[in-house]
Structure 1
């Protein structure tokens, strides 16, 4: 059981992430790759990753064992700003933290030379780690990130709306998946028994596609408190990566342009213009301009709520992203 202890200040500082975290999804998908249950992940996705990402898997799986401790440095807070920002933060981890966390990983069993070199902070090892993570993310998640994000967006948006209109305590009561709010403690089913004292720091709640059964928290309680939870979604139709997906994305980029395609992929189920700019990595004015064009083409819808404009992808927009729309698209 994981017990997260709140104060009144923590309730005010608790927030919902505006989408899945790319490094958490990478790490959790590596867990799923090691499971033998046939329904763990879609079979075609598993086959694609196993065939195309053999070298990244060889390097990453020793750092991300199927059970037990997983180093916190693999999921830095900087990934909230995108994969590359998170990777920069990961590769800048202090050597003392690398040494400590890889040493703790060694309690699970003997470490291979590669893993020990990462713990020593050796530049060649960190360079290889960065390459492996970038290649794995591209192969396993890159072509299907917009689908993964869209499938958890309704769950994330519901939590955010509940918090906005009814408060954080009401939001904490809406969780499923063995998460119970018993004021002032959030109780979560967990592999080990531990307590997390927020002490005024608040809690970042991150929805996840690849998180299954129980939520996940950072092991080091001195790091920013984070809870990754299994978003309600239909895993039987989960993300599948294939060469056709990559081709569809390339065709869409030729139609709309790379930036506008990225903006469309970033909309998800609901987001404000500022959230859209952050997700797509563009300026606020650029996000607003691209949203206007996409809205005119019928690919997204927009509505004003209080002081913000919210955008949502339409059925036509989602079909276009999924490569199933073959009719004309308005300019």
Structure 2
């Protein structure tokens, strides 16, 4: 069990996104695409982007079941850091941390590769960072606007949920291994680690994690838990039940299906391929019908299904109970 001791309430928890984490996690997916069927259509349509890229300095750490060193994936220092911020943190990882983590990360490597990496931890760190940049520029940066939109919607929605229901109710919905009680976030794990989270815990949604969580417990970083983001509909948009098409129209049926995950207006517009103003009109009709609820935080409006909307979607055969 991994335990992050935070103290009472959720004041020690913050939510953030990480562009570097998305790139590193994508690299893992690319090494084992058959195990991540949900990404299949997206990967097939874009495989030319990374064809020919030398990612070996990064994927050398992606063997099935192997420890992925923490220095590759530092927890974000702010809520929405840039890719350059994250890569700078990778390159700033202390050499003693890199060397210590390489000892565990290279146990399944060949003796020659292990000796090379352990003999030059600074070079291993630099080469891995170069590979991260190449994959970012080829595959993630061209779509970062939509990815960031999905992650931002996740951050807003989860913060609202915690405010309404408390951290203890929300954490198990992020992943079944997570619980919160008596000021401690616990992660079911084969390892036994206790972290004094005096600086707080960072919760980071990930678009490229499937059915697991990733925990950062290093003394060099803020404690963090990376978990599967609900915005993974980007890879396979949820289908709208045909019966809803006849009832509310095709566009509004697609909105109802998509709002099984709360979304901001721009994300709804992106899914429909329409202007934000058109999406707003559809959302207003659904809101007036009592099927959608909208919450404003500054200039951002997040939309989610009401109980009536979920019941309608579930009755029509959709994912309203997700």
TM-score, normalised via structure 2 length: 0.64
Equivalent residue for 1:29?
26
Deviation for aligned residue 1:89: 1.9
Equivalent residue for 1:275?
none
The SS at the match of 2:58 is helix
Q: Does residue 84 of structure 1 match 2:84? A: yes
What CA distance in whole angstroms lies between the structure 2 residues aligned with 1:114 and 1:224? Answer: 28
Relative to structure 1, is the Cα distance of residues 182 and 83 closer, same or farther in structure 2, using a 3 angstrom cutoff? same
Deviation for aligned residue 1:144: 1.5
Deviation for aligned residue 1:219: 4.5
Q: In the alignment, which of 300, 307, 312 is matched to residue 311 of structure 1?
A: 300
Relative to structure 1, is the Cα distance of residues 91 and 115 closer, same or farther in structure 2, using a 3 angstrom cutoff? farther
What CA distance in whole angstroms lies between the structure 1 residues aligned with 2:94 and 2:125? Answer: 12
Verify the 8 A CA contact 1:217 1:227 in the aligned structure 2.
yes
Verify the 8 A CA contact 2:75 2:216 in the aligned structure 1.
no
Equivalent residue for 1:188?
187
Relative to structure 1, is the Cα distance of residues 78 and 184 closer, same or farther in structure 2, using a 3 angstrom cutoff? closer
TM-score, normalised via structure 1 length: 0.63
Of 205-214 and 158-167, the range deviating more from structure 2: 158-167
Equivalent residue for 2:137?
138
Deviation per residue, 1:79-129 (Å, 9 max, x gap): 642111111221122221221111221223335549834762445x55543
Q: Which runs of 5+ in 1 are unaligned?
A: 240-267, 272-295, 315-331
Deviation for aligned residue 1:165: 4.4
Following superposition of structure 1 onto structure 2, how do residues 122-137 of structure 1 map, counting pairs within 5 Å?
122=122, 126-137=125-136
Q: In the alignment, which of 196, 213, 216 is matched to residue 214 of structure 2?
A: 216
What CA distance in whole angstroms lies between the structure 2 residues aligned with 1:54 and 1:107? Answer: 27
What CA distance in whole angstroms lies between the structure 2 residues aligned with 1:304 and 1:43? Answer: 33
Verify the 8 A CA contact 1:7 1:198 in the aligned structure 2.
no
Relative to structure 1, is the Cα distance of residues 40 and 82 closer, same or farther in structure 2, using a 3 angstrom cutoff? same
The SS at the match of 1:107 is coil
Q: Which runs of 5+ in 2 are unaligned?
A: 238-262, 267-274, 281-293, 304-322
Deviation for aligned residue 1:204: 0.6
Relative to structure 1, is the Cα distance of residues 147 and 64 closer, same or farther in structure 2, using a 3 angstrom cutoff? same
What CA distance in whole angstroms lies between the structure 2 residues aligned with 1:235 and 1:11? Answer: 28
Equivalent residue for 2:230?
232
